[in-house]
Amino acid sequence: MDEGYIKFNARWKKALPLPEKALQNLCYWRNEMHRHSLIGVYENGVGYGNISSRLRPDGQFVITGSATGQLPALSPEHFTTVTGFDLDQNEVVCSGPIIASSESMSHAVIYRECPEVNGVIHIHHAGLWEFLLHKIPTTDAGAPYGSPEMARSIIRLLRETELREQKIFVMEGHPEGIFSFGETLEAATAAIFSSLRQLALNT
Ligand SMILES: [Zn+2]
């Protein structure tokens, strides 16, 4: 599991954090995910999971910074704004107090493809991953986390499957990795919790 390693070329402009009020909801749901160990840290010290919310209609979004998974509660200096990206150049442009999450490109393509989406969450859960694999839209086995291949695989699922309605997918090339999204962050978390309930009923 190499989630802590950023694979894109980052154009990071250091800037002040956003005001606490603007991040309240995002902070709340991030900490909830952490409380359920859906975002967290492995025994080897590598963090997993990330969460974002749309900042502007043009697709700019705020996302957790890289290597924040181990922290039980985040504050404004742990979030940063992704202002642009380029799949062909494997480039992410961000502005804020911390470098953007290694999975930023996957979040970026969901906001670009789905103007109705305002919140995106990437969690890890071994049991749920196994349960959902190929039962719901699943990214290509050959697409590693945080890569343009993963972003392209997500775009394909959004265009060619029921994903845009189902709002949750599993990443075959990234064991334990699951994404969900929604019109709100609350809706995105609901998709995860409802899948976890199905898993509980089936085991
Ligand atoms: Zn992951």
What are residue 44's DSSP bridge partners? none
Distance from the CA of 178 to the center of ligand 1, in angstroms? Answer: 7
d(CA 5, CA 66): 9
HEC assignment per residue over 6-46: CCCEEEEEECCCCCHHHHHHHHHHHHHHHHCCCCEECCCCC
Distance from the CA of 87 to the center of ligand 1, in angstroms? Answer: 19
Q: What is the pLDDT of residues 31-86, one digit of tens each?
A: 999 999 999 999 988 999 999 999 999 999 999 999 899 999 999 999 999 999 99
Q: What is the pTM of this model?
A: 0.97
Q: Which two structure tokens, joined as six digits, stand for 123?
A: 């969690």
| Full set of structural domains in the chain with CATH | 9-201 (3.40.225.10)
d(CA 103, CA 124): 13
